[in-house]
Amino acid sequence: MNCDQLAPLYQKYALGALEGEERAELDAHIARACPQCTSGVAQARKALAKHEMFPAWAWIAAAALALITGYTVRQMNNQNDQLAQLRKQMKLATMQNQSLQNRLELNHMVASVMLSPDSLPLKLAPKDKNMPAVYAYLHPHMGVAITADQMPSLSPARTLQLWFLPKTGKPLSIAIFRPDAAGQIALVAPFHIPRNEISALAVTEEPSGGSPQPTSAIAWMAQLR
């Protein structure tokens, strides 16, 4: 592979998430001090380091989460291959195929937001120490990605709701969501408030369908600086 083919992989390499042949190729370029790849990877590392609120261990945790939850590009490519196979086999689009495609597209969106150097990663700490943390990634154009793992199941009558707390004014409802059967949360929701006007992100539990304003105590929260 030449340097231009490797360039889109610098970020993943800097994250330690590049594997297999692609990794070996890029390792070889770095080993021979290839100017383009060495400076490209250095820039990607610098971009990652800029996320002061998100230290190196958290990137590793995010990469581990990505591995567990199937968001690595390699796995997405595999899923794409599988999807292409499916499409070949099933000439008619069935409802099932549609939902698989929707899930793949969602995974792509979540991964794009998670891995973008323009995203601000935040950890929403749980009030209840027995609950897992919820992670949010704020991207100026793509929206906010929300991920969580090992969430306990939720009564069908209840939902989780994400709020942006602006520096002035009432909480803004951003999304309602619930963990899937495996206890995972992955979604991307748009938001229309400049990042510097947000003071905190909060998640509450609400009656299913969501509420216009929070009706219960904040269950997860992250403050923005």
Chain residues binding Zn ion by CB under 5 A are: 3, 29, 34, 36-37
Are the beta carbons of 42 and 50 closer than 8 angstroms?
no
Min dist CB 25 to Zn ion, Å, is 9
Min dist CB 34 to Zn ion, Å, is 3
| E strands, 92-217, in order | 120-126, 134-139, 143-148, 158-166, 172-177, 185-189, 198-207
Judged by beta carbon, residue 6 or residue 63, the one nearer Zn ion is 6
Min dist CB 44 to Zn ion, Å, is 13
Q: How far apart are CA 31 and CA 118, in angstroms?
A: 29
Instruction: Please identify which residue in the block is written with the tokens 């704020």.
Output: 138
Min dist CB 29 to Zn ion, Å, is 3
Judged by beta carbon, residue 18 or residue 145, the one nearer Zn ion is 18
Phi-psi sector, 143: left (phi>0), alpha (psi -120 to 50), beta:
left
Min dist CB 13 to Zn ion, Å, is 11
Min dist CB 12 to Zn ion, Å, is 15
Nearest to 151 by CA among 217, 73, 219: 219
Min dist CB 37 to Zn ion, Å, is 3
Judged by beta carbon, residue 34 or residue 58, the one nearer Zn ion is 34
Tokens linked to 215 = 């009706």
Tokens linked to 23 = 């990794």
Judged by beta carbon, residue 1 or residue 193, the one nearer Zn ion is 1
Judged by beta carbon, residue 28 or residue 56, the one nearer Zn ion is 28
Q: In what order do the strands lie in the sheet with 158-166?
A: 172-177, 158-166, 198-207, 220-223, 120-126, 134-139, 143-148, 185-189
Instruction: Please identify which residue in the block is written with the tokens 């709701």.
Output: 161
How long is the chain? Answer: 225
What is the Cα 81 distance to its own chain's centre?
22
Judged by beta carbon, residue 32 or residue 88, the one nearer Zn ion is 32
Judged by beta carbon, residue 37 or residue 63, the one nearer Zn ion is 37
